Structures are given as structure tokens and as C-alpha cells.
Amino acid sequence: MEFKIKRKSVKTVTTGSLVDVYPHDLQMYKIPPTDNISLQEFESLALERLTLLRCLATATTLKGLRIFSEEWTDFVISDLKNQGLKYYAKLCEKSGCGTLQPDLEARRKDHIAHFILRLAYCRTEELRRWFISRELELFKMRFMTMKTDAIDSFFKINNLCYTNISDDEKNELIKYLRESTFYHNNQNIENFKFYKVKFYEVLDLVKSRKVYLRGGYAYIPHKDFISVLSAQFRMLLRQSLAVACHHLGEIEQDERLVSLLKGLHQSYSGNDFISDTKVTVPIESLDFLSAKSFPLCMKQLHEHLRSAHHLKHGGRLQYGLYLKGIGVTLEDSLRFWREEFTKIMELDKFEKQYAYNIRYNYGKEGSKKNYTPFNCLKIINTNVGPGECHGCPYRHCDSGILKNKLKGYGLDAQAVNDVVDMAKKGHYQIACSKYFDAVNKTDLGLGINHPNQFFEESQKLLKGDIKIEVKKEEKSNIVKTESNNIEDMDFDEITEWKE
Amino acid sequence: MVGQYDENVLPDMLPVYYTRLFPQNLFCRWLSCGNSPQPLSNRELSFTLADDVYLRYLSINNQKEFFTLLQKKCPHKLDIGAVYNTKPSVGRHDAVVLARELVFDIDLTDYDEVRTCCQEAKVCDKCWKFMVVACEIINAALKDDFGFQSILWVFSGRRGIHCWISDYEARTLDSPGRAAVADYLCLIMGGENQSKKVHLGSDNLHSSIRRALIVIDKYFDDIVQDQEFLSTSDRLKSFLKMIPDEALRKQVQENLERMPTSSIDRWKCFVNNYNQFCKENLHGMRKMKYLIEEIKIQYCYPRLDVNVTKGFNHLLKSPFSIHPKTGKVSVVFKPDNAKDIKLDEIPTIYTLLDDSSSDNVQHQTNMRTAVKNFQELVFSLEKAEAVRRKTEANTSLEF
């Protein structure tokens, strides 16, 4: 079969020898492949790449390893070997410019597989984001494990020319470079070569204050070039995915591909709790429901609203969308917020300043987008500022305050300690699940990924429905390790926000 | 001063203000950034009329149109949005933002958990010092670190300050870029349920934080005296919550409670206590290496409304707009002079247009200074734009 991505760009790989096409283990994937491959190879390459990307996600979420740490990389590489993906393990472990046949073959597979998955993951914003995050992790990991000479040739191949600053300039700035550059204490900064790039080329370093800035330029040592590269890589990938999405129609005329490509991404679509509103929940029952069926993050917002008759913007958004998700109608929602807010302000002010946002949440104003309730990872990674009380209580509460809250709700000492312990360790969602068990008097040990899931599970228990719903089996026979895909999908947002 | 005037006379005074005092010409030139006419006509303006009626997606082609529009609508408040690829009134939903000044909004209400002199909408010369510190810190960072030149500082009209950066690089910065700049400048993090909101780690302190601390130190004693952060038992309690180590906390508590209530003396005592404690516990100080700095920052460092900076199409009140509640003019000031601003010397529409007012002369002078400050910025911005376009033309010729 023929596999071609139509692009406006006229650059194509001339079918020379593989050595010319793939001079280096690490690629920027700027040019799509033009080879003919069999349908079978197409499918297996796609699945292997998927396994690779999932393996990265597993290392971070399920294993809880710190991303790009030594243990993390070790886990990824050994997992790849166990899954029979030796060629990926090799590409990740010691990237270089070898010219042996297996090296070249591995690079070819890497190249083609990357482009196949672009097709599968260009459909929606959420899929794109997941894909970009994983590919970026992969790229960074491979760059970091590379030897110096391999890095040099990578720069040469990709025409990345940067000259380091003069010794004079460096000596003049050394005090600031030492203060502001992020490096390990055992390294000697005097030996670093420094390069000057515009600050917007290394936004991740700027954001986390890990680089010295002066006059709009960032001074980075050699090792921080990964930031420049990954910013470029990310932008390139984002644009390419937009292009791919645009041309999806042409590709999907081939029915043999449609089922495969769709199958791939379908296995990642978790519940977004947007259309589950067959049941309507009257606002009069919110006080009652909040006792057992609201997760702590929402209960806290509810109580704050009831006592202070006001919530700041972040809180209104988080709580308002959640209420929509559990089945509060727009009319009820307006009435609910109005009743509280007008206790401290004129009705007129409420209608002018706040009612718009409530209708907006329901997709009745502005861009008329039907917004989805926030999931846990979005809530966990949100910024909470002074005077605000949204976010995830397990993350955004001092443990003393959390403890008192839980005690106040009548949880027994053991349960309180369990929850607080988990929160302290940074396992916010496990803490939430412990809280679920404590208030609902069970020991289901659910994985809570979404406040609305908390609500639904609790309602199920209260109404005496089936105790545990068997997780929906994947229809596809794709990869066996697919069972908690919701978690993986959410995880993608973590990296998006942290970077 | 404000109280003796009536909001109801605004509709009569505004047309006079817009004709006689509002710097229309400079305003249009500032907005068009020397690139007229393209960006000006595609710029969104928004008016707030009487009774909070909003008019969004307005635009003007030139100063004359602006004048007519002002006369016709007589807005109580004037806001500025982004530059779109089309006239904003035409294709408002598919319009794409092309450019927008990088903006910062600092509001004293975000200081409510630290300031003790006023709360919410109230503001006095004591809490204005927080704005002085914020302005000096942010201005230095924008200039020295990011290399921006055309930085405009504006009094927001009631209880805060706005900053507009018109440099080409700033205007065209994308949203991840804006978010990164905002995060770079943000040190205070955490909500109602977190007591300690600043964590500087134990590595070296970033140069920008050191520079900020130098600014804070200039005003710190004054602010501590004004605000009396440590004088009552409630305030002391929330101060103690910022000390992570239990042994040190107990020591400090015992020592401070025995002392007279003067906050400045109590603070000095705490610093001595801390230094002593460091000497005795050389190990285990890692997590408290910068405790003093962290507390100073939590008290005094600028608290930005980051959403305004991150958002591309957030509307922000225009310079020289009138604040409908206070009648005060959003005057442009120089960051070096922020410390000399007295709140009741800020001109109001009422005193400017009332010859018999005792403040009239002073407010007229201050209004003129503000317009002059604005003029200086617009001139240097136009110069910078001319240079940029010239270099751009040259480089494209070379190709």
C-alpha cells in the first residue's frame, strides 16, 4: 500500500541510501517518509510506538518516578526491552551516529512510526496535547542520554549554529550566572560555556527562574540547549499536527487505515462528564448531597459560598462546571448563585457582573463552547492565589488545616491520618479515594480521576446500584496494558502545565 | 475630597473633560504604535456607559473618529483590548489576535491578607507603599531582565496600578511567553488554606530575587511600622505559622509575646532569634535557609493578577480614563516617582473642572505632569518603532 502524507512543503526525502537519510539516531521529524510499506508493518509500527509512549506515561504516573531522573530512564529502557522493543531501547539508551544496518533500520522505524501516530493523534485538542507531551518527553530523554560528540553532530546536522559568549563577557557576568543558572553543586560553572539566546526561546527556564536574564537575552550553558530544542520541537509538532488534522479527510478515504487510526485513539478517550446529565439535580438538595457525595474540593467551595456568599473567579469556574456536570440546570444554577451573591450585593450588580459567566459556562455566551467540568489533574495543577479556595485541598491546604477540616466532618482519627498522610506524600488522588471510602463507609479503593466521578460513584452506592462497575473493557485488541487509560490521558495535562 | 461631589454630575462633566483635558492625540498615537493606520482601526475599544452598560468591539480609524465617538457616547469608563486581524466590530468570533501590549495589573485587594490599614476597596497612603514596592520591582525586572523600553505605568483609578509594555517583542509575545514572564515575576503562591506562600528552596537565590529584596529592604522598616504586622495576637499567630520549624517557632513565640507590641522591635528580635538558631543548628537549616527573605517577600513582594497578563484579550482600563466611583483620573506616572505620589493629590474630574476648588491648581499641575509623562513615552516609542522598521527593511533587502 502507499503511505503518503500530502503536505504543501515540497521538501521530500530523496530515496538515497539509508545512511544519508538517517545520519543520526535523534531526529526532528521535519520531513515525512515517502516509502511504501505493507499494511501489516504500518499496523505493527503504530502499535510499537504506542507501547513506547505509554511506557513513558507509566513510568511517571503508575510508578511515580520523577521524570527524567535516572530511575525513570532505567525503568523506561528495561520496560522497552521486556516488551520486545529492543530497537527503541537502543535509540533511547545511547543515541549516536552509528552506520550499522540495525541502527539505520531502527531510525527508519522511528521515523515512520512517529508520522503514523501523528495521524492517529491529530483529531482533537486533547489527543494532540497527549501526543505532544509524550513525544517531547521521548525527545528530551534521548537528548539527555546522548554523548557530547553525538550532541555536536546533532547540532551540525540540524544547522543549529550558536556561538558562545566571550570570556570577557562571561567573567563580567560570572557572579550572576552563578546565582541564577541551575546546576548541580558538584559541577564547576567556570568550565561551562555560555550561550546567549532570546528569552522566548527558553520559556521553560524563564518560567521556573532557572536561567540568568539580561536585556532580553537568556544566558544558557550547553546542557540547557535542550530547552531551546524542545521549544522548537514542540512548536514544529504542534504546527504539523494542525496540518495533519486539516488533511485527515484525504487520508481517511482509505478505509483500511480508518479503522486502525480511529481504533488507536479511541482507546484513549475517557469520560469527560459533559453529556451525562440525563438526571437533573435540584439545587435544594446540594447541601444534603455535599455531605457524602461531593469530593472535598467541591464541598469546601460549597461551604465557602454558603458562608461568605461569594467565590472568586477560579472557584466559580471550578464549582460552576462541576454543578453543571452533576446535573444542575442552567436556570437552577443562575438561581443558586443569585441567592447567595445577592446576600452581599445588589441584584443589579450580580446580573451584570456574574450572570454572564454562569451562562458562559453552559455555552450560552461568548464562543458558545460547551465547557467540560475540570478533572483532578487540572484542579491539582491549577494556581491558587491569595483569598482563593479552589484547587485540590490535598495539595493546596496546609496539613494542619486539612486535618482539622476532616475532623470537623466527623471522620475517625485513623481515616483522618490516612488521608493526611497520603496528601503529604503527594498522592492527592489516593488521599481523595481514602476520603471517599471514609465518608461513604466502604473500602472500594477507587481511583478518583474526576470530581464528577466521585459524585457518581457515591450516588451509585447510596442508591444501592451495582457495587462496583466493571471498568469498560477495551473493544480493541490493541495493547493489553490499556486498562487505566483515563489516568494516562489526564496525566498529559500535568506536563503541559508544568512546562 | 471626593465625597463632596456627586456621581450624577458625571454625564455633564465628561464631555468637557474629553474635549479639554483628555490627551486624544497622544492616546491614538500610543495605540497605533507608530504603525498607523492598520493597527489602530483593528484595535478593540470598550466603553462603559451610565448604569454599567457595556459597549464592546468598538474601533476607530483616526483621532477624529475617536473624538466624535467620545462626544456621542460619553463613556464613564474606557477600556482597551487587543489588535485583531480585522476590524473587531466585523468578525468578532473568528477574529485572531495579532498583537497586544504585555500588561500587568496589581491591585491592593490582593494584599488584604497582609495589609492592616485598609481592606477591600479602601486605600490610604500607608498601603500605597505596597504599590511603590511593586512598581519598582516589576519595572526593574522588565527593563534589566527582559530588555523592554516602552513601559507605561498608570494609576488604575482607585486601588492599584497598571503597567503597559509596548515594545514590539512584548506586543507580539504569544500566550506561553506571557505566562512564562508572569510566572517568572510571581513568587507568592497559595490560597486561603496555605499559610506560607513563598518557598525559595535552598540553592542559590536568583539574581532577580536578590534585586527585589534590595527594593523591599528600602521600604521594609517603614511598612512594618505602618502595618504593625506583629502587634496583635492574631497577627502574631499568622506570622508564626510561616515558621516551619517547631522548635524555632516556640522560641520566637515565647520571646515576642513577652515584648512590647511594637512590630519593628519584634521583627528585629525575630531576626536575632533566627540567626542564633542558625548558628546552633548548622544542620537541618536547609529548608529554612531563606526564611527571612521568604517572609519579607510574603509581606511586600508584588502580587500580580496573573490572569490579566496571561490572557491575550483581557480588557484593561485606559490611561486617563476616569474611575466612575472615585472620579479620579488614571494618571500616567514615572516609576521613579511612584514613592512621591499622594493619593489625594491625584487629579479628579471634579477638581479639574471646578475653578473654585481648593485643589484645583495642584491637580491641574499634576494632570499636566501626567500628560507630559505620557508624551515622553509615546515619543520614545515612536522613535523605537521607526528604528525597528528601518532595520527590518534593511534585513529584508539583504535577502
Nearest-by-Cβ selection for A214 from B109, B113, B145:
B145
| Cβ contact B251:B288 at 8 Å | no
Whose CA is closest to B319, among B332, B305, B302, B300?
Answer: B332
- Chain B interface, best mutation among A136, A172, A173, A179, by max B CB count within 10 A: A179
Beta-carbon contacts of A206 under 8 Å, excluding residues fewer than 6 positions away, are: A199, A200, A213, A218, B180, B181, B183, B184
Q: Does A150 touch chain B (CB under 8 A)?
A: no
- Chain A interface, best mutation among B144, B207, B314, by max A CB count within 10 A: B207
Torsion sign over Cα A127, A128, A133, A134 = positive
Q: Does B50 touch chain A (CB under 8 A)?
A: no
The gap from C-alpha A331 to its chain's centroid, in whole angstroms, comes to 34
Chain B residue numbers with beta carbons less than 8 Å from the beta carbon of A385 are 110, 188-191, 303, 306
Interval B173-200: pLDDT, tens: 988 899 999 999 999 998 888 889 999 9
Q: Does B260 touch chain A (CB under 8 A)?
A: no
**Residue B36 — pLDDT band, cuts 50, 70, 90?**
low
Predicted local confidence at residue A445, as pLDDT: 77
Q: Where are the beta strands (DSSP E) in B225-278?
A: none
Q: If you measure CA to CA, which chain A residue comes closest to B211?
A: A176
With vertex at residue A66, the alpha carbon angle to CA A60 and CA A70, rounded to the nearest 5 degrees, is 110
Backbone angles phi, psi at B48, to 5 degrees: -110, 120
What average pLDDT does range B26-48 have in this prediction?
83
Residues A225 and A259 in one domain: no
- Chain B interface, best mutation among A132, A177, A198, A203, by max B CB count within 10 A: A203
Whose CA is closest to B131, among B157, B151, B149?
Answer: B157
SS3 B329: strand
Chain A residue numbers with beta carbons less than 8 Å from the beta carbon of B190 are 384-386, 396
Tally C-beta pairs within 8 A across A and B: 106
Which residue carries 504543501 as its cell? A8
| Cβ contact B15:B57 at 8 Å | no
Position B399 pLDDT exceeds 90: no
Inspect the interface and report whether the beta carbons of B192 and A387 lie closer than 8 Å. Answer: yes
Inspect the interface and report whether the beta carbons of A388 and B192 lie closer than 8 Å. Answer: yes
Q: Does A498 touch chain B (CB under 8 A)?
A: no
Residues A213 and A259 in one domain: no
Residues A399 and A451 in one domain: yes
SS3 B238: helix
Q: If you measure CA to CA, which chain B residue comes closest to A404?
A: B193
Chain A residue numbers with beta carbons less than 8 Å from the beta carbon of B181 are 206
User: Minimal Cα–Cα distance from A209 to chain B, Å?
Assistant: 6
Nearest-by-Cβ selection for B177 from A200, A389, A398:
A200
Q: Where are the beta strands (DSSP E) in chain B?
A: 43-49, 53-58, 77-84, 97-99, 102-107, 151-155, 160-165, 316-317, 332-333
User: Minimal Cα–Cα distance from A469 to chain B, Å?
Assistant: 35
Inspect the interface and report whether the beta carbons of A180 and B173 lie closer than 8 Å. Answer: no
Inspect the interface and report whether the beta carbons of B197 and A391 lie closer than 8 Å. Answer: no
Q: What pLDDT tens digit does each residue of chain A (499 aa) get?
A: 444 444 444 444 444 577 888 888 889 998 888 888 888 888 889 889 988 998 888 887 767 778 888 889 999 999 999 888 888 988 888 777 888 888 888 999 999 999 999 988 888 877 888 899 999 999 999 988 888 788 888 888 888 878 789 999 999 999 999 999 987 776 788 888 899 999 999 999 999 999 999 999 999 988 888 889 998 899 899 999 988 888 888 877 887 787 777 767 554 434 555 544 467 888 888 998 888 899 999 999 999 999 999 999 899 999 999 999 898 989 999 999 999 999 998 888 898 888 888 888 888 876 667 788 898 888 988 888 888 889 999 999 998 899 999 999 888 999 999 999 988 888 888 899 899 999 988 888 777 888 998 998 898 888 875 444 433 333 333 333 333 333 333 333 333 333 3
User: Minimal Cα–Cα distance from B178 to chain A, Å?
Assistant: 9
Inspect the interface and report whether the beta carbons of B208 and A388 lie closer than 8 Å. Answer: no
CA distance B77 to B379: 26
Inspect the interface and report whether the beta carbons of B147 and A386 lie closer than 8 Å. Answer: no
Q: If you measure CA to CA, which chain A residue comes closest to B120?
A: A387
Residues A384 and A465 in one domain: yes
What average pLDDT does range B356-367 have in this prediction?
90
Q: Does A201 touch chain B (CB under 8 A)?
A: no
Nearest-by-Cβ selection for A385 from B179, B181, B191:
B191
| Cβ contact A146:A97 at 8 Å | no
Chain A residue numbers with beta carbons less than 8 Å from the beta carbon of B147 are 214-217
| Cβ contact B198:B297 at 8 Å | yes
User: Minimal Cα–Cα distance from A465 to chain B, Å?
Assistant: 36
CA distance B388 to B235: 52
Quick one: cell of A166? 566571550
A166: left (phi over 0), alpha (psi -120 to 50) or beta: beta
Q: If you measure CA to CA, which chain A residue comes closest to B146?
A: A216
Nearest-by-Cβ selection for B207 from A176, A208, A217:
A176
The gap from C-alpha A489 to its chain's centroid, in whole angstroms, comes to 7
Interval A80-99: pLDDT, tens: 998 888 889 888 887 778 88
What is the crossing angle of helices A39-60 and A255-266, to 10°? 10
Chain A residue numbers with beta carbons less than 8 Å from the beta carbon of B176 are 203
Element (H, E) at A38: none
Q: Does A387 touch chain B (CB under 8 A)?
A: yes
User: Minimal Cα–Cα distance from B146 to chain A, Å?
Assistant: 4
Backbone angles phi, psi at A348, to 5 degrees: -60, -45
Residues A379 and A318 in one domain: yes
Q: Does B140 touch chain A (CB under 8 A)?
A: no
| Residue A482 domain-assigned (yes or no) | no
Q: Which residues, listed in sequence order, are joined to residue B316 by a DSSP beta bridge?
A: B80
Q: Is A392 annotated as a binding residue?
A: yes
Instruction: Report the C-alpha dihedral over residues B48, B53, B56, B60, rounded to 10 degrees.
Output: -50
| Cβ contact A462:A349 at 8 Å | no
Q: Is A122 annotated as a binding residue?
A: no
How many domains does the structure of chain A reveal?
3
Nearest-by-Cβ selection for A396 from B144, B191, B209:
B191
Interval B221-256: pLDDT, tens: 999 999 999 999 999 999 999 999 999 999 999 999
| Cβ contact A263:A485 at 8 Å | no
The gap from C-alpha A430 to its chain's centroid, in whole angstroms, comes to 19
Cβ atoms within 10 Å, residue B71: 12
Whose CA is closest to A223, among A210, A237, A208?
Answer: A210
Query: Could you state, in order of their start, the residue ranges of all structural domains in chain B?
Result: 2-184+304-398, 194-300
As annotated, the active-site residues of B are 44, 105, 107
Predicted local confidence at residue B397, as pLDDT: 67
What average pLDDT does range B338-357 have in this prediction?
91
Q: Is A161 annotated as a binding residue?
A: no
Predicted local confidence at residue A19, as pLDDT: 80
| CATH 3.90.920.10 matches B2-184+304-398 | yes
Residues A77 and A130 in one domain: yes
Chain A residue numbers with beta carbons less than 8 Å from the beta carbon of B208 are 180, 209, 213
Q: Is A245 annotated as a binding residue?
A: no
Q: Does B189 touch chain A (CB under 8 A)?
A: yes
Predicted local confidence at residue A390, as pLDDT: 93
Chain A residue numbers with beta carbons less than 8 Å from the beta carbon of B180 are 200, 203-204, 206-207
User: Minimal Cα–Cα distance from B361 to chain A, Å?
Assistant: 37
Cβ atoms within 10 Å, residue B116: 17
Which residue carries 529502557 as its cell? A77
Inspect the interface and report whether the beta carbons of A215 and B144 lie closer than 8 Å. Answer: yes
Residues A294 and A435 in one domain: yes
Q: Does B236 touch chain A (CB under 8 A)?
A: no
Q: Does A297 touch chain B (CB under 8 A)?
A: no
SS3 B57: strand
- The range of the structural domain enclosing residue A63 comes to 18-146+252-267+490-498
Predicted local confidence at residue A419, as pLDDT: 92
CA distance B115 to B130: 9
Chain A residue numbers with beta carbons less than 8 Å from the beta carbon of B192 are 386-389
Residues A137 and A207 in one domain: no
Between β-strands B43-49 and B77-84, what pairing exists: parallel, antiparallel or unpaired?
Answer: antiparallel
Which DSSP category does B321 fall into? P
CA distance A150 to B130: 52
Q: If you measure CA to CA, which chain B residue comes closest to A234?
A: B176
Interval B291-338: pLDDT, tens: 999 999 999 999 999 989 998 878 999 999 999 889 999 999 999 999
Residues A169 and A206 in one domain: yes
Chain B residue numbers with beta carbons less than 8 Å from the beta carbon of A408 are none
Residues A308 and A450 in one domain: yes
Chain A residue numbers with beta carbons less than 8 Å from the beta carbon of B189 are 383-385
Which DSSP category does A147 fall into? -
Q: How far is CA A93 from CA A53, A88, A317, in A?
A: 15, 8, 44
Quick one: cell of B122? 479602601
Helix locations, A61-100, DSSP H: 70-82, 86-93
Q: Which residues, listed in sequence order, are joined to residue B322 by a DSSP beta bridge?
A: B329
User: How long is chain B?
Assistant: 399
**Residue B2 — pLDDT band, cuts 50, 70, 90?**
very low
CA distance B82 to B96: 10
Quick one: cell of B286? 536547609
Helix locations, B48-189, DSSP H: 63-73, 125-140, 168-171, 175-185
Give the CATH number for residue A65: 1.20.930.80
Nearest-by-Cβ selection for B93 from A182, A208, A367:
A367
Quick one: cell of B169? 517583542
